Amino acid sequence: MTVTHRVAVRPSGAEIDVRDGEDLFGAAGRLGYRWPTVCGGKGTCRTCFVQVEEGAENCSPMDPLEREGIEALRRPVDGLTRLACRLRVEGPVTVTKRGVRRRVQE
Ligand code: FES
């Protein structure tokens, strides 16, 4: 059985079940959400960044690329600003990210 952890996204109210080892950006795409991005999840555009509101203790440690990205955004490297394409979770988390919506069905 696949273990998932729920990430609630404000203000859209999206609820994304992220699999163990999967990043938030990838999980959102798998579940049919559009997440702001330019690089498509490579960790270089920083467009995907989120503000962690709850559950920071359930978030994966930052890798050097993500740390660099947060610094480039001129945000504090305090674990509360994260790149969705690098962020893995081990429990429930709530984040704020504007512009996350369900892809329109064609
Ligand atoms: S999607 Fe570009 S840095 Fe995360």
Dump pLDDT digits (tens) for 57-85.
999 999 999 999 999 999 999 999 999 99
| % of the chain exceeding 90 in pLDDT | 94
pLDDT attached to residue 106:
57
- Protein residue with least CA distance to atom 2, ligand 1: 45
pLDDT attached to residue 1:
78
**44: Cβ below 6 Å to ligand 1?**
yes
- Measured at the alpha carbon of residue 60, what is the angle toward residues 59 and 61, in degrees to the nearest 5? 120
pLDDT single digits (tens) 29-38? 999 999 999 9
Domain range list for the chain: 4-98
**43: Cβ below 6 Å to ligand 1?**
yes
CATH level 3 topology of 4-98: Ubiquitin-like (UB roll) (3.10.20)
> Taking Cα atoms as reference points, which of 102, 100, 105 lies closest to residue 36?
100
Residue 103 · residue 33 · CB < 8 Å: yes
Burial class (CB in 10 A: 0-12, 13-18, 19+), 95: buried
The two tokens of residue 18 are: 């992220």
Point out the ligand 1 atom lying closest to the alpha carbon of residue 35: 1
**48: Cβ below 6 Å to ligand 1?**
yes
Which of 3-12, 59-68, 86-95, 97-106 is predicted with the least confidence, judged by mean pLDDT?
97-106
